Amino acid sequence: MHSMNFTKMKVDFAISPKIISIGNSQFIQDCAIPTIEDLETIATAEFKDFNFGKIEELNSTGPQGEALTLAAFIGIMAGIGTWLSGKVLDEVYERILGKKVRACIERIANSASKKSSFSVALVIGNFTSGATVVIAAIGNDEKELMLAEANITHAIAAITAFPKETQPDTTVYLYKLHGSQFNLKPERHESLIKAIGSLSIVGTNMKYN
């Protein structure tokens, strides 16, 4: 599969105008489309060829895994020049992006079945190495999702301590934030499909739009 030469992209931080959305048509209408419209006000143009974590595969197949059954998933995508640029992402999250994530959670809560679990995630690509970090907030209701969202900045802080980029890296690192708990050491996956699939989202449609 073709992959980008990320070392040519001299960008410290960027927000994608696209999202990853998994769910039924009602979820897409109620949550995914409004989230895309919300992100258009802060998105940047560096993501025309966004392909972190073999993202192109998302349009052709579904996730794999049986760890946790979720009804729907939304991934908001950002890119950083190096892991140290995570400090910029942390500031932007506190000032701007976090509001978008919480608004997304509120939309999910308003449209969700009481017996369903959902995930809202940051999908962060490293422009230098090509690695990807997924920080997935998981919950059964708005309260659990908001508890998980409160830990997103802790996971962002963790990636700033990743080793300096010295060679290409196609690994997808996954942090699972479930309520007030999250894994301090990220799981490692070979693609976004495998990472998202470990959340076990079943019986849904996946789109990168």
**pLDDT per residue as tens digits for the range 3-19:** 333 344 456 788 888 88
CA distances from 174 to 11, 36, 53, 143, 188 (A): 23, 23, 11, 22, 6
Q: Does any domain span residue 1?
A: no
Rounded to whole angstroms, the Cα distance separating 78 from 152 reads 14
pLDDT at position 208 over 60: no
Question: 114 or 102: which carries more pLDDT confidence?
Answer: 102
Please report which helix (H) or strand (E) contains residue 195, including its range.
Answer: helix 192-197
Residue bearing tokens 């109620």: 30
- Lowest-pLDDT range of 14-23, 98-107, 113-122, 158-167: 113-122
Rounded to whole angstroms, the Cα distance separating 149 from 197 reads 20
The conformation of residue 91, written as its DSSP 8-state character, comes to: H
pLDDT digits 0-9 by tens, 112-152 = 665 678 899 999 988 888 899 999 999 888 899 999 999 99
Tally the domains of the chain: 1
Residues 6+ apart with CB under 8 A from 106: 142
CA distances from 101 to 145, 157, 183 (A): 10, 17, 20
Domain that holds residue 62: 6-208
End-to-end CA distance of the chain: 20
pTM of the complete model: 0.84
For the chain, what percent of residues have pLDDT higher than 90? 27
**In this predicted structure, what is the pLDDT of residue 122?**
94
Q: Does any domain span residue 94?
A: yes
Rounded to whole angstroms, the Cα distance separating 1 from 51 reads 10
Q: Does any domain span residue 67?
A: yes
Q: Does any domain span residue 120?
A: yes
Q: Does any domain span residue 133?
A: yes
Q: Does any domain span residue 132?
A: yes
- Lowest-pLDDT range of 50-54, 155-159, 205-209: 205-209
**In this predicted structure, what is the pLDDT of residue 26?**
86
